[in-house]
Amino acid sequence: MSCQQSVLAVSRTKHFAYDPCFQPRVLRTLLVLLVIPASGCKMAADGQNLQGVRLYQQGQYDAAMHTFQKAVASDPNNADAYYNMAATVHRMGVARNDSELLGQAETLYNRSLDLDPNNTECYRGLAVLLSETGRSDRAFTLLKNWTMRDPRNSDARIELARLYEEFGDVDAAKAQLAEALQVDQYSARAWNALGRLREQSGDYVQALANYQQSYSLNRFQPQVAERIASLNRSIAHNSTQQAPGTRTVTSTPPVNR
């Protein structure tokens, strides 16, 4: 069976080198949950993607890029390999202030989206690149078009909310997250993002509730667990600080007749 004809039956396993969030930018390598035997070319590409991520994390960007190119050679339709190349070139282009590299990254992001039209990380990376290169209008258009093309995809609205947040429109960001939760009330990402916005606005009680909802849906979120613990401490501290100045009525006061 050729690489182009093969099908990998695997729970969505991604080995992403660069997760270009707006704030902050982080590295992400998702763990394999279930692997069912696949064609050799696809398995080779997955292994090369993972190897490339490790090289990237060590700061060996040129070597990582070479490894991702090998993944594409192993499986020309591997969307993750194109994303990884895009993210690596993007990082190098920003570090070197090289517009040519950024142009290459844009082309690679688009190629990845051609192969996987719902690649959330790829949409995020491309939106970041467009914003960084003075084309925020195109970044908004990119994500808005995604929400219209796939209205039942909560991730599309979460990413659009992230972009609104980056540009200071918190109300629009909250509106997008509310719509994301209408689409998928079990989206841990949406609850987490909503909690962050509410925490930033000082609504700590509601933020805590949102974080707790997110964590109940996905326990593999150590950063959310940290926010829950921090907010619990803050709320308890504030309650203690207010206690000396509060008065509690335990009985009905006398009424002069």
pLDDT at 18: 39
Write out residues in the chain with pLDDT < 70, as ranges: 1-40, 243-257
Q: For residue 173, what are its two tokens? A: 């960001």
Task: Walk me through the domains of the chain, giving residue ranges and CATH numbers.
Answer: 7-134 (1.25.40.10), 151-239 (1.25.40.10)
pLDDT at 7: 26
pLDDT at 241: 76
What Å distances lie between residue 237 and 40, 139, 198, 203, 242, CA to CA? 58, 42, 19, 15, 9
Please give the Cα distance from 212 to 30 (Å, whole number).
Answer: 22
pLDDT at 243: 58
pLDDT at 111: 98
pLDDT at 40: 66
What pTM does this model have?
0.79
pLDDT at 230: 97
DSSP structure class, residue 26 = B
pLDDT at 239: 81
What Å distances lie between residue 101 and 87, 95, 107, 148, CA to CA? 11, 10, 10, 30
Strand partners, 26: 19
pLDDT at 240: 80
Largest CA distance in the chain: 97
| Whether the Cβ atoms of residue 158 and residue 180 lie closer than 8 Å to each other | yes
What Å distances lie between residue 63 and 6, 51, 77, CA to CA? 27, 10, 21
Q: Residue 52: which of 5, 12, 86, 6 has the closest Cα?
A: 86
* Residue 15 burial class via C-beta count within 10 angstroms: exposed 0-12, middle 13-18, buried 19 and up: buried
